[in-house]
Structure 1
Amino acid sequence: MIEMKRQPTTPGEILNEEFLKPLNLTQRAFAEHIGVEVKTINRIVNGRQGLTPEIALRFAAALEVSVEFWLDLQKAQDLWRLKNSKIKLPKPLKAS
């Protein structure tokens, strides 16, 4: 398994840098376009909230990028955070 040393880019950073800025869209305008509250977009852009499948689907429809793209970004972020947390994992099971 390949270990990730650096934190993956967040979906919010991708949204902001690759879509909102180039399209000259504010968070408010994007939020209104996809039908969510602006605070939701702000939290995602600032890394304080992850993507739900519903939000990923809205992003995909509005930005013509697959829902899997957005969900994969979120999955990478979630797994990185878990692997770098203090979670205690069980030992592997062994056949007796």
Structure 2
Amino acid sequence: MNYHILNSKGEALQVKAFHPGLYLLEEIEERELLKKDVAHELGILPTNLSEILKGKRNISPRVAIKLEKVLNISAEYWLNLQMAWDLQKAREEEYA
């Protein structure tokens, strides 16, 4: 399969993955939620949520399901973001 994204001139663009914590932070801020309340609803410590938001901790399947309940964004979406990030990091290490 070809997963290249092309610009208007037909040139391949390199798309970088981002840690899902960045998107989660945007969602929390956009919805004007308090981080401590989100952590409570997820059943995790605020420090653990902070580490996710900073990209220092991964989103596990359990947390992805809880995010699905809290934010109404599918667990698959969160896990796909996490997988894309993990693959990018692994490729960078392999080809460095």
Place the TM-score, normalised by the shorter chain, in its bin: 0.7 to 0.9
Q: Which has the higher Rg, Structure 1 or Structure 2? A: 1
Letter in 1 for 2:33: L
Partner of residue 94, structure 1: none
Gaps in structure 1 of 5+ consecutive residues: 88-96
Q: 1:55 aligns with which of 31, 51, 63?
A: 63
The answer for the alignment partner of 2:80 in structure 1 is: 72
Aligned residues: 87
Partner residue of 2:28?
20
Q: Which runs of 5+ in 2 are unaligned?
A: 5-12
CA distance in 2, matches of 1:41, 1:5: 30
Give every structure 1 segment of 4 or more consecutive aligned residues whose post-TM-superposition deviation is greater than 2 Å: 1-7
- Larger helix fraction of residues: 2
The answer to whether structure 1 residue 45 and structure 2 residue 53 are counterparts is yes
- Higher deviation after alignment, 39-48 or 7-16: 7-16
**TM-score, normalised via structure 1 length:** 0.80
Of all paired residues, the percent bearing the same amino acid is: 24
Greater relative contact order structure (CA < 8 Å, 6+ sep) = 1
In structure 1, what is the equivalent of residue 18 of structure 2? Answer: 9
AA matched with 1:55: V
